[in-house]
Structure 1
Amino acid sequence: MKATVATDASAAWSRVAAFASAVDASLGKWLLETYRVGLTEYRALAHLEDAPDNELRVNDLAQRVGLNQSSATRLVSRLYAKGLTRRDVCPDDARGVYAVITEQGATLVHEVRGPYEDRVRELLGGAAAHFPQVDAVQLGRDVTDVGALISPA
């Protein structure tokens, strides 16, 4: 019985992860076409906009957007080159680097946030239409099953 539960959990997770990847790909394409910003770039800017003092250590930003340290450093460099962030050194630890959202970055987040939320709702609410390869009923069960496996810390 335990092997079946593990197999069912892994199959459910695989379907949820594949759907999440498809949604992310669609969101990324839409963001690039509409706002000329990538999905990870937008998510990083949104995290910075929501953070106290509009800044995060690059390590913390990396964790929030699901990147490793070097990828997050490259991301912050791209955002800096676009004028959307600036770097700041931690006053307590000169090795610590902060990414700080600029006024231009904050303006972009404010412009994108509402339409982005609408697009997410559209994609999730119309999953069968947007992603015909997905069995929406099965996916709903999979999300419930995966959610049941997640225990609060």
Structure 2
Amino acid sequence: MTRGAGVTTAWATVAAFAYAVDASLDSWLGDNYRVGLTEFRALVVLHQEPDKELRVNDLAQRVSLNPSSATRLVSRLEAKGLARRDLCPDDRRGVYVVITEQGQALTREVREPYEGRIRELLGEAPTHFRHLDARQLRDALSEIQTLIGS
């Protein structure tokens, strides 16, 4: 990709890189902590909430899932003992997902190694993602940055 090749090409390059990084993180989390990337992201979101809970629909939005996928995510977290469902006291139709102590402990345990793994993947991108051209990625990110900055 040459400089100014177009926002469509730039975005496709960034998206391909993000997908590759996410796939690598998902595999690494599964191998080392028996949790998937979306599960971990949900736990981080819940862990950061003051009450350690969110409505399932709000969690879905925060981790970019549709409601059906969010329901399956919460079921997986429950099965692993990392979260539980709770009914809203004011609206019995509102369902919350609450991170458990076990979920909080896992989040604390994984956070630093996870951030280190991200730094490694980004810092050594040409080694980890040989199918992606680091120069093209830099150009694409630069092009995207000019759009965000305007």
Tell whether the structures are fold-level matches, with TM greater than 0.5.
Answer: yes
C-alpha distance in structure 2 between counterparts of 1:100 and 1:148, whole Å: 39
Name 2:30's counterpart in structure 1. Answer: 32
CA distance in 1, matches of 2:88, 2:29: 32
2:138 is aligned to: 140
CA deviation map 1:97-135 (0-9, x unaligned): 111000000010011000000000000111111111111
The aligned residue for residue 149 of structure 1 is 147
Moved over 3 A (4+): none
SS of the aligned residue for 2:18 comes to helix
Aligned length: 147
Structure 2 counterparts to residues 104-119 of structure 1, below 5 A = 104-119=102-117
**Structure 2: 5+ residue runs without aligned partners?**
none
Using the TM superposition, give the Cα deviation of residue 91 of structure 1 relative to its aligned residue in structure 2, in angstroms. 2.0
Partner-residue secondary structure (3-state), 1:92: coil
Residue in 1 that maps onto 2:9: 11
- Residue of structure 2 aligned with 1:43, choices 38, 41, 44: 41
Gap regions ≥5 residues in structure 1: none
Identity of aligned residues (%): 64
Give the one of 113, 119, 124 matched to 1:121.
Answer: 119
Question: Residue 76 of structure 1 aligns to which amino acid in structure 2?
Answer: V
Query: Following the alignment from structure 1 to structure 2, what is the Cα–Cα distance between the partners of residues 10 and 106?
Result: 40
Higher RCO structure (Cα 8 Å, ≥6 apart): 2
Q: Structure 1 residues 16, 115: CA separation in 2 closer, same or farther (over 3 Å shift)?
A: same
| TM-score, scaled relative to structure 2 | 0.93
In structure 2, C-alpha distance between the alignment counterparts of 1:120 and 1:94, rounded to whole Å: 40
Change (3 A) 1:62 1:151: farther
Q: Which string of whole-angstrom CA distances, capped at 9 and with x for unpartnered residues, describes residues 34-71 of structure 1?
A: 00101100110111001121111111111111100010
Give me the CA root mean square deviation.
Answer: 1.5
Separation (CA, whole Å) in 1 of partners of 2:32 and 2:118? 14
Q: Which has the higher helix share?
A: 1
- Where 1:98 maps in the other structure, the secondary structure is strand
CA offset at residue 151 of structure 1?
6.5
